[in-house]
Amino acid sequence: MKLPGSRAALGLLLAAWPAAADDARRAAKAGYHLLHRTPAELRRELSTDRPDRTESAYTVDAGWFQVEGDVLAVASDRHNPEREPRDETGFAVLPLNLKAGLTRDVDVQFIVAPWRREEVKTPAEGRRRVSGPGDLVTRVKVNLRGNDGGATALAVMPYAKWPTAGSGLGNGEVEGGLIVPFAWHLPGGFTLGMMTQFDARREDDGGTHAGFINSLTLSRPLAGDLGAFVEFFSDVDADGGPWAGTLDLGLTLGVGEDVQLDAGVLLGVTRAAPDLGVFAGFAFRF
């Protein structure tokens, strides 16, 4: 015998079950921190701030560590906004993002660039090369919703850049800003990522102007642990300079629960962006 409304009640119960399960999982992780790590069975899936440039809205679980980086990244540029005969090439070896989970919803990150080289070739000056370490960037990511379940996730990530770069590789100034990443899990296995970034950028005369970065990325598993993404990335200076835009494409490969490999390309769609970038990298959690 069917009770009146039993089918509707069952539907509501099934719809509420994932949220209840997520709440229980979240509550179980509340007491863990950097020195008292989250049990492995309670960890969320590996989520990385690479290989696309749209940052993840998810944090590293409390007490766990994550390393992300490029084995090698190369960029070349010939079509500059000034339309001058100038070829530029940049190399970066093992730039790393070192992360540590502080609490259930907060992690800290240190971005280091051990070695970079920039090369510029012009008819008037010939070839000029500079190389050395890059600047240090520190970030703190705070997840505001969706860290352990739900269709959407939102975070805020203030950051600061410290002038540790070698001569000719940085502007020698302290800069900072705020990054706001958002994730939305869509039907069909697609995930939409969005990011807005507000920068305070130093000028040569000592002043400061705003910069705005916005990106949109769409990713999806292809087969098994192989996935792909396509991204549009833009960087706009409030001082009225030309904006930089790229179309980014790449593949990811999961290796177990704690390792990801990736590779991709960046294609410049404006003259202020590099014409082409190529990268291959990794992420692992421990």
Q: 70: which strand partners?
A: 281
The number of C-alpha atoms within 13 Å of 240 and in the hemisphere containing its C-beta is 0
Coil/strand/helix, residue 27:
helix
The overall longest dimension of the chain from CA atoms, in Å, is 91
* Region at 21 (left for phi over 0; alpha for psi -120 to 50; beta for the rest): alpha
* H/E segment holding residue 9: helix 6-28
For 186-275, where are the E strands, in sequence order? 191-202, 208-223, 226-237, 244-255, 259-268
Per-residue pLDDT of the chain (286 residues; tens, 9 = 90+): 333 444 544 443 333 344 455 778 888 999 999 999 999 999 999 999 999 999 999 999 999 999 999 999 999 999 888 888 899 999 999 999 999 999 999 999 999 999 999 999 998 888 999 999 999 999 999 999 999 999 999 999 999 999 999 988 999 999 999 999 999 999 999 999 999 999 999 987 778 999 999 999 999 999 999 999 999 999 999 888 899 999 999 999 999 999 999 999 999 999 999 999 999 999 999 9
Contact 45, 64 (CB under 8 A): no
Other Cβ atoms closer than 10 A to 40: 10
Contact 238, 213 (CB under 8 A): no
Chain position carrying tokens 């907060």: 106
Q: What is the pTM of this model?
A: 0.90
Residue type, 175: E
Other Cβ atoms closer than 10 A to 123: 8
Q: Which fold has domain 31-285?
A: Porin (2.40.160)
